[in-house]
Amino acid sequence: MNHLAEILVPIACGCILPIAIIWLIVRRRMNETNSRTQIAMAAIEKNPDIDIEELLKKVSKGGKLLKEKLLTKLLWGTLASLLGIGLIGTGAWMGYVGGSVPDDIYAVVCFGLIALGVGIAFMINYFVGKKMLAKEIEAEEKRLTEQE
């Protein structure tokens, strides 16, 4: 029985779980599209002269602004970097105190370095994107203030 669990758990985590996640995401998007279509059809039935494009813009949720996307990257970069530094510190502490298996120390430090690298990549992406998209962000903010 133990041998069966050793086989099924990796299969479930590696195959079934990603397929289930993708299926749920696709199903949610289809439901959103269907609900927008139903709203548009009901509006057309009640008032055939209505501007459908404007109605769909009001009904659909607006995408994130460039500034919000960049701030999200900064947030994830900071979190991943702090996690990486914490894991590296934990690995160093495990090595200093002793009594830990060297493979465990190596694994903790490797995961820490990976997390730190991902965090630094997100932060670089934030700062480069902020510099390159400064004019677009300013124009987007100006457009939003004009709409209000």
- What ranges do the domains of the chain cover? 1-62, 63-148
| CA 132 – CA 25 distance, rounded (Å) | 32
Give the burial class of 108: count Cβ atoms within 10 A of its Cβ; 0-12 exposed, 13-18 middle, 19 or more buried: buried
pLDDT, mean over the chain: 87
Q: Find all residues with CB under 8 Å of 75, minimum gap 6, and list them.
A: none
Residue 89 vs residues 11, 112, 121: alpha-carbon distances, Å: 33, 8, 20
Share of the chain above pLDDT 70, in %: 95
> Would you give the DSSP letter of residue 148?
-
Hey, what are 65's tokens? Answer: 């602004």
pLDDT at position 148: 63
pLDDT at position 110: 95
Sequential DSSP letters for 34-56: HHHHHHHHHHHHH-TTS-HHHHH
- Work out the average pLDDT over 107-133: 94
pLDDT at position 5: 76
Higher pLDDT, residue 85 or 11: 85
Helices (H) and strands (E) in the chain, counts: 6, 0
Q: What confidence tens digit (pLDDT) does each residue in 88-104 have?
A: 999 999 988 888 888 99
C-alpha atoms less than 13 angstroms from C-alpha of 144 in its C-beta half-sphere: 12
